[in-house]
Amino acid sequence: MHHGISPLMCNLTQAFFGRQRREGLTVLSRHRHRGSYLALVVSGGYEEAGDRGRHRVHAGDFVVHGGFEAHLNRYDATGAEVLNLALPRWMEPQSALMETSDPDTAVRLAERDPREAVAYLVSNMRPRKSEIADWPDELASAIANNPHLQLGRWASQRGLADATVSRGFRQVYGLSPSAYRAQMRGRTAWRRAMDCGKALSELAIDAGFCDQSHMTRTVLLLTGQTPGGWRKHVK
């Protein structure tokens, strides 16, 4: 499997906040947003495949996106209406897929003050389990849980050819497993650089990099700033 870091330069786009309608069968290619936000499904549904797995969402569900997360969306035949709301900077709950018993209240609050809607959802949200549908989802989960995962060995253990794994994973997630792993490593290093005081050389090894310089290049491509720069930024 080819390894490289050029795919890290995934489109960094500005999130649209407010209600947004997507037409049926629309496909949004893999893209990335700088800040944290949530997407509450008002009507319709879609499939999202991204850095925190693949989710099927419908009215009342919402997906929480952390900073610099990447994902792609495939909308149902009927399309979907989504309410996008900005979250406090770098907020990232453990579960990406959430639900609330009263989404209509959040929608009404957002019309008056989006911050009230966010406060309501954050205080009333509960995780909704996202099922692992097939081996691409299993591989995405394995990469997320083990930055040192050897892709060739993983494929061999399941009786899959490397080319089959690369092609099948790309069809679901929009990029190769090796590029997905590189992005996951970079994003993990970015968060840890801000959240803990461990030496950057140690963070690099923990996140699956061969050395600190490789981590620095990857995080720079992913976020526009080095791990050391981010660490100074949050002090």
80, 99, 127: which is the final residue of a domain?
Answer: 127
Are 34 and 51 within one domain?
Answer: yes
- In this structure, which amino acid lies at residue 11? N
CA atoms in the 13 A half-sphere facing the CB of 108: 4
- Interatomic CA distance for residues 204 and 217, integer angstroms: 11
DSSP E strands in 102-166: the ranges are 126-127
Are 43 and 139 within one domain?
Answer: no
Enclosing domain of residue 198: 135-234
Residue 9 has pLDDT above 60, yes or no: no
> Cβ atoms within 10 A of the Cβ of 167, count?
11
Asked whether residue 61 is domain-assigned, the answer is: yes
Asked whether residue 121 is domain-assigned, the answer is: yes
- Interatomic CA distance for residues 226 and 202, integer angstroms: 15
Are 145 and 218 within one domain?
Answer: yes
127, 147, 182: which is the final residue of a domain?
Answer: 127
- Interatomic CA distance for residues 149 and 58, integer angstroms: 33
Asked whether residue 1 is domain-assigned, the answer is: no
The predicted model gives 72-80 an average pLDDT of: 97
Are 33 and 105 within one domain?
Answer: yes
User: Can you name the residues that pair with 172 across neighbouring β-strands?
Assistant: none
Region of poorest pLDDT, from 38-42, 176-180, 212-216, 221-225: 221-225
pLDDT for position 8: 56
Dihedral over Cα of 66, 83, 122, 97: its sign: negative
Are 97 and 165 within one domain?
Answer: no
Q: What percent of the chain has pLDDT over 90?
A: 83
Burial 13-27 (b: 16+ CB within 10 A, else e): eebeeeeeebeeeee
Are 66 and 18 within one domain?
Answer: yes
Residue 167 has pLDDT above 60, yes or no: yes
Q: Residue 199 gets which letter from DSSP?
A: -
Asked whether residue 13 is domain-assigned, the answer is: yes
Phi, psi of 46 (to 5 degrees): -165, 170
Are 120 and 205 within one domain?
Answer: no
Distances 105 to 83, 101, 112 between C-alpha atoms, Å: 12, 9, 11
Residue matched to tokens 């944290």? 36
The predicted model gives 107-112 an average pLDDT of: 96
Q: Residue 15 gets which letter from DSSP?
A: P
- pLDDT band of residue 3 (cuts 50, 70, 90) is very low
Q: What is the mean pLDDT of the chain?
A: 92
Structure token digits, residue 174? 């929009």
Are 121 and 142 within one domain?
Answer: no
pTM of the model: 0.91
- pLDDT band of residue 1 (cuts 50, 70, 90) is very low
Q: Please name which of 8, 80, 21, 78 lies closest in space to residue 48, comparing C-alpha atoms.
A: 80
Q: In this structure, what CATH number is given to the domain that contains residue 213?
A: 1.10.10.60
Are 167 and 71 within one domain?
Answer: no
Q: In this structure, what CATH number is given to the domain that contains residue 29?
A: 2.60.120.10
- How many structural domains are present in the chain? 2
The torsion of the CA quartet 11, 14, 19, 24, rounded to 10 degrees, works out to -20
127, 143, 164: which is the final residue of a domain?
Answer: 127
Are 123 and 147 within one domain?
Answer: no
